[in-house]
Amino acid sequence: MPASFFASRFPFQFFIYSRLRREELCLKSRQDQLFNIICHMKDKLKDAQTDLLFTAILSLESIEECYAFFADISTIAELKSLAQRFQVAIMLRQGRTYADICETTGVSTATISRVNRSLEYGSDGYQLVLDRLEETGHLAKPVKEERKDI
């Protein structure tokens, strides 16, 4: 039966159904757009030069070698910024508030939001590394507080 049949007999229900359907399509469209943006970013990032850089990083065998390499390849400010973002990711995963993270690390809420967006919708790089650090005991697993209903 055509949609007009239902619309004429059940106008309110049809209105609700069509509104929910439109919102569902909008959400699907936004998810597709976000996925395309992430894929496009990966495509823009991936090249032979970057692959060689990552291979070089993977060849480092100790923290001392990492300090030496990153001291040569980046500025102190760049390295501190990366370390700060990583600390923000850890704190967000622990469930800390933006205000607490700002106060502790000194980063802006814009940076926290950017890291949070990467945690939620990114390429799962943060998740991968944080999971591995927890598995190896280098990072404590986040403690989830249980609700106490009274």
Structure tokens at 21: 């359907």
Torsion sign over Cα 71, 73, 79, 81: positive
Are residues 85 and 112 in contact, defined by beta-carbon separation less than 8 angstroms? no
Structure tokens at 106: 């000194």
Q: What is the pLDDT of residue 14?
A: 60
Report the distance separating Cα 60 and Cα 36, nearest Å. Answer: 33
Whether pTM exceeds 0.75 = no
Nearest Cα to Cα of residue 105 among 122, 120, 85, 119? 85
Q: What is the pLDDT of residues 65-102, one digit of tens each?
A: 999 999 999 999 999 999 999 999 999 999 999 999 99
